[in-house]
Amino acid sequence: MFDLMPFEHRGRNLFNFFDDFEKNFFGDLSTDFAQFRTDILDKGDHYLLQAELPGFHKEDINIDLSDNALTIRAEHNEQNDEKDDKGNYIRRERKYGSFVRSFSTEGINPDAISAEYNNGVLELKLPKQALPEPQSRKIEVK
């Protein structure tokens, strides 16, 4: 009699089946939409970080540097309201998006970082720290 119950099918839980179906159909939303896409290029004396942030304005982007971590936040909040002459809504649309991502700045000169935002792409120039030149000294034998 228990074999006729639909909650398990050949050792597979029905709830896991629907969860897997949703992930396969929509993708894993926690990884697809939680972060923005970035490329980091090594340009010799500096790194170039390119972050795709389409639809954001320059004012929507905040870059913080703290404890060897560079954090990029982008938050967009837009509301479009259309009302008739009586003040009733004909159409009301809201759009919200928020992204946060952090990067290690170990080996980067934090005082020389610069940023530009053009056509939906944020570019950060991350100059490398100058490596200390090995110093040699003569050790006297006593």
Return the bridge partners of 12, or none.
9
pTM of this prediction? Answer: 0.62
CATH number for the domain running over 35-127? 2.60.40.790
| pLDDT for res 7 | 46
| Arithmetic mean of pLDDT, 86-109 | 82
Using the 8-state DSSP alphabet, how is residue 108 labeled? Answer: B
Q: Where in the chain is the domain with CATH 2.60.40.790?
A: 35-127
Q: Report the candidate in 12, 64, 13, 55 with the shortest Cα–Cα distance to residue 36.
A: 55
Q: Is the pLDDT of residue 26 over 70?
A: no
CA distances from 129 to 68, 108, 133 (A): 13, 5, 12
Cβ–Cβ under 8 Å, residues 72 and 63: yes
| pLDDT for res 83 | 75
Q: Are strands 38-42 and 69-83 parallel, antiparallel or unpaired?
A: unpaired
